[in-house]
Structure 1
């Protein structure tokens, strides 16, 4: 029996709608066909994406919008976007016709490119002050061309209403935060370690304009034009404002326009002057008598790990003696003292404002006799002494716990340990305090805390920077008065980081100290003449004979006694740096 034929449908056949995204469909089909020819299974993924695209009735502006469809992952969308950008690049513009022609990307209204307005820091802001100070420093005859952070903050504070060190209430930003914006805008460049700040060519041009505007502003204030200039002060642009926010104001003011200055009424100017003095004293880091307290800082390693019971005994003894101490991470030393500013809670604020801390010139490295023996064997003993000398504190102390007869039961002879302790005191210039056990260590820390509290109770403390410090502090010590120019704790602890980025000079010094018999004093003396390996090798090349090269460093004097490095050590250094191949 013949099969029944399908019923014939009469009437007009409705045309199927074309895909509203023809380019995506075309490219997906090509990808599917290529994968099919190569026998790749990804052809099925492309086919599923084609099916999803055919079912979607709306045009897509980009492949990212296709992620809402099934089987469109990041890989397919990325390929389609690349093809789309290449298509636009080859054809010069999006497809014509828009949605009416079922094109991929409907025509858009092309906006004219917005002209970005030049960034100009607001008057008496952090960026304004930094640019002016760097510019004025360049105008000084014989200027070094850069400034360190501490001196830059001190000088710029006079030209800024906000503090460079203390954030405003409810904020974590200071005036110094604007320096990152200046660096990002290529107005200031930061180099070296410690950091040096200098102006770029763009920064120099902007600073000249700011200096001229500042002179005009001062002249206007002297002439009694405060009210007029206050009305015209809207042209100053803050560095923190975005380009979109500045667009409206840039329509009325061109970049070539003169920089106006914002002035204040006399009463506000007086208040600003007073607040500027307060900020200046804060930037200088001054702590007046009675405004701070002496706190003992204990390295957290001294309270955790190892013999926990013995370490907790130290903490309990300090608490029993009524010593105010704080446990924190110290990058060098085990104990030190800070002068912490007394701060009071602010009504309506959750957290107490951060207190400034200045480090007193005393740091203690505590050593049990077994720890001393181990540090001599593995080389930590010399390295720790070298780092204590370079930490910036002028009174390093070695606290040695002899623990009875324990010295006679170590890996090294007792005479070797005693000689190391004596060398630390006589040769390295450290003060060595010998105690018997943990209780005596706690007693010594208690006595030192009370002594320093009394010593500094009526003194005004100022903040100094290691970048700018001279020998004035050492002269104060010689006449018996304590140094009142102290480092901030943050700068001290950051500078004492063991594995921080090092300069060539620092690496060269550490390299020299790996030679047996070459101490830190000898390495420092060699670096006074040859501060890098390149300068040392250049000096060797200028010598006429091998004998002269071997004796090049022999007459260099080191240490307090000004002894010669000697021919043997000089020959060893020469062989290390000038012998080709492996050393025998």
Structure 2
């Protein structure tokens, strides 16, 4: 006899839940929370799992508290719904079975589900507003379509447009997606609104739950599902339809690449947007997304072409900035905040600035934490969705913010001297050190308080920085607000012109102080690119960094040495020309440094000589 086939699956069907009404209410609550992108959906899901496993009937919500994942809040919601159920159906209404109306709607929806398994031939696609699948009770249930300007709308459009680029990799990383989608969104993907903890990125959860977006790998990769691709295509076509207005319905609306072979009458709005985004990355207002969130470019000809286009765009913008003259009233003063000041629990500063009504941008600053730019006011251009980015000139003020514990750490690891040196060399002549005392947080530090106070005093007296001491983040935000208001008043009647950092002479700062009605400033792009920390360095810059590693040799002293010996080679030649060992040790001792023109001294001179001329290891 052939062996009896093995039976798989459960031998007995599971009994139905004895509390279907509670089950239905919790399911509705979970679905509502999921549609709004709220995290309470997971709480309701856990409660549903516990309720399905419970085999006994419950008389009210309080009895459900014995179940796992049922708290006071869920029990109260169930009791409130139960009271409403009794008012509508009478005190004798059963609660351990569904009402007839609910059963009928369930049966009707099941019939619709079974009929949908045999699809009919598709007709011409309906508009987005008319596409509403059948739902419970025979009523049309509206299809989920994110609102224009929302995070979900921006994410779908960005992923779809990226899929149209030839040679695309088929997915986008989080940082890449946020940066590209930010111009299409009305809210920030990283900074929540005032009084809320949610950002535009929270809508991505809803897209994943609606099976419009797929999240895979670690780090996460985001791509469109088939449903998402269909919806995104419709959104994209509607966007183009609105933009073209009078329309060219006979033409191919999917042409998004530049250099299309269509006639010149076709307005290529998508290509204009790409150009504007490149310009915005170069010198325009930075997206609220941290500009440091960079990613590796895709390895394809399309990415290389886009990089080349962006580089050429940078050159064009820089050329346009040369000789710029902005008259009073044609520009706004904007505070630029380094993105590092908004990460790692530092959002309180941004929220304070928002409360104070400060006009600010969050972007990547290669030196300093805060600075101000004069941004040109621009008017929209006919045929483009957004106005072109305004040119930006950097004001002469730059702020380095230091908590007292961070100051301690920077002194110990050598960052303190390097940061001051880079601030002096950045091209802005009014550096400010903003020191936060942090109250009791400064009581447990690795350096004594007297050492920290001496470092702060040296920064003000020796290095020539203006030092502002505050107690906490709120006072820091208040100081930035007052400074912004002060600069707005200071520059309200001034004509500003663009100057080149390369042409800046030694006597220029003094001449600039004498100017009353106008001032010359650098473009933001030239300033930020010139302050890159890990850029290619000259031999002179490397020599200066080497000298500053010597204990007691500050930035002023290193600059004084460089004025006499600009490279290591020139210094070694000078040592070779000295007649004796004693003369070599005293070679640098009479070099003047700083405002007081003091001598470098024999001790430092001897140390430098031993460093560069000692054969073998140093003792």
TM-score normalized by structure 2? 0.48
Residue 365 of structure 1 pairs with residue 404 of structure 2? no
The one-character-per-residue Cα deviations of 1:9-50 (angstroms, maximum 9, x if unpaired) are xxxxxxxxxxxxxxxxxxxxxxxxxxxxxxxxxxxxxxxxxx
Conserved 8 A contact 1:556-1:565: yes
Aligned to 1:499: 534
Match for 2:567 among 499, 521, 532?
532
Q: Which one of the candidate residues 456, 481, 486 is aligned to 1:451?
A: 486
Q: Match for 1:284 among 323, 345, 359? A: 323
The correspondence of residues 62-81 of structure 1 with structure 2, limited to 5 A, is none
Higher mean alpha-carbon deviation, 348-357 vs 540-549, is at 348-357
Q: Does the CA contact (< 8 Å) of 2:334 and 2:374 recur in 1?
A: yes
Note if contact 2:273-2:385 (Cα within 8 Å) is conserved in structure 1. no
Structure 1 contact 400–435 (Cα < 8 Å) conserved: yes
Q: Provide the residue aligned with 1:430 in structure 2.
A: 465
**SS of equivalent residue, structure 2 residue 558:** helix
Cα distance, 1:484 vs. partner?
1.2
- Residue in structure 2 matched with residue 337 of structure 1 by the alignment: 372
Tell me the SS of whatever aligns to 1:484: strand
| CA offset digits 1:500-520 (Å, max 9, x no partner) | 000000000000111111111
Q: Distance in 2 between matches of 1:282 and 1:410?
A: 46
Give the aligned partner of residue 500 of structure 2.
Answer: 465
1:476-495 aligned within 5 A: 476=511, 478-479=513-514, 481=516, 484-495=519-530
User: What 5-or-longer segments of structure 1 have no aligned partner?
Assistant: 1-167, 174-278
1:304 aligns with 2:343: yes
Classify 1:285/1:576 alpha carbon distance in 2 versus 1 (closer, same or farther; 3 Å).
same
TM-score (norm 1): 0.51
Number of the residue aligned with 1:293: 332
Q: What is the alpha-carbon distance in structure 2 between the residues aligned to residue 568 and residue 472 of structure 1?
A: 33
Return the alpha-carbon distance in structure 1 between the equivalents of residues 572 and 325 of structure 2.
46
Residue correspondence of structure 1 range 103-182 to structure 2 within 5 A = none
Partner-residue secondary structure (3-state), 1:365: strand
Q: Which residue of 2 aligns with 1:318?
A: 353
Q: State the secondary structure of the residue aligned to 1:573.
A: helix
Q: Give the whole-Å Cα distance in 1 for the aligned partners of 2:469 and 2:446.
A: 20
Structure 2: distance between partners of 1:476 and 1:171: 42
Partner residue, 2:477: 442
CA distance in 2, matches of 1:483, 1:562: 33
Structure 2 CA distance, aligned partners of 1:281 and 1:499?
Answer: 27
Q: Aligned partners of 1:512 and 1:483: how far apart in 2?
A: 39
**Deviation string, structure 1 residues 379-418 (Cα, Å, up to 9, x no partner):** 1111100100000000000000001243332111011111
Runs (4 or more) in structure 1 with deviation over 4 Å come to 168-173, 279-282, 476-483
Partner-residue secondary structure (3-state), 1:412: coil
Unaligned runs of 5+ residues in structure 2 are 1-270, 277-317
**Larger Rg computed on CA atoms:** 1
Quote the residue 1:356 is aligned against.
Answer: 391
Distance 2:537 2:506 in 1: 24
| SS of residue paired to 1:461 | strand
CA distance in 2 between counterparts of 1:482 and 1:404 reads: 43
User: How many residue pairs end up in the alignment?
Assistant: 308
Q: For 1:420, which of 455, 468, 476 is the aligned residue?
A: 455
Cα distance between partner residues in 1 of 2:602 and 2:322: 51
Match of 1:579 in 2: 614
Aligned equivalent of 1:143:
none
Aligned mates of 2:599, 2:388 — CA distance in 1: 54
Counterpart in 2 of 1:553?
588
* Partner Cα separation in structure 1 for residue 406 and residue 528 of structure 2: 23
Match of 1:397 in 2: 432
3-state DSSP of counterpart to 1:284 = coil
Give the CA deviation at 1:539.
0.5
Separation of aligned partners in 1, 2:526 and 2:319:
19
For residues 448 and 394 of structure 1, the distance between their equivalents in structure 2, rounded to whole angstroms, comes to 16
2-side partners of 1:342 and 1:579: how far apart? 60
Q: Deviations over 1:115-146 (max 9, x none)?
A: xxxxxxxxxxxxxxxxxxxxxxxxxxxxxxxx
| CA–CA distance in structure 1, aligned partners of residues 336 and 473 of structure 2 | 17
Per the alignment, residue 543 of structure 1 pairs with: 578
C-alpha change, 1:480 and 1:443, in structure 2 (3 Å) is: farther
**Is the CA contact (8 Å cut-off) linking 2:375 and 2:392 kept in structure 1?**
yes
Question: Structure 1 CA distance, aligned partners of 2:518 and 2:450?
Answer: 37
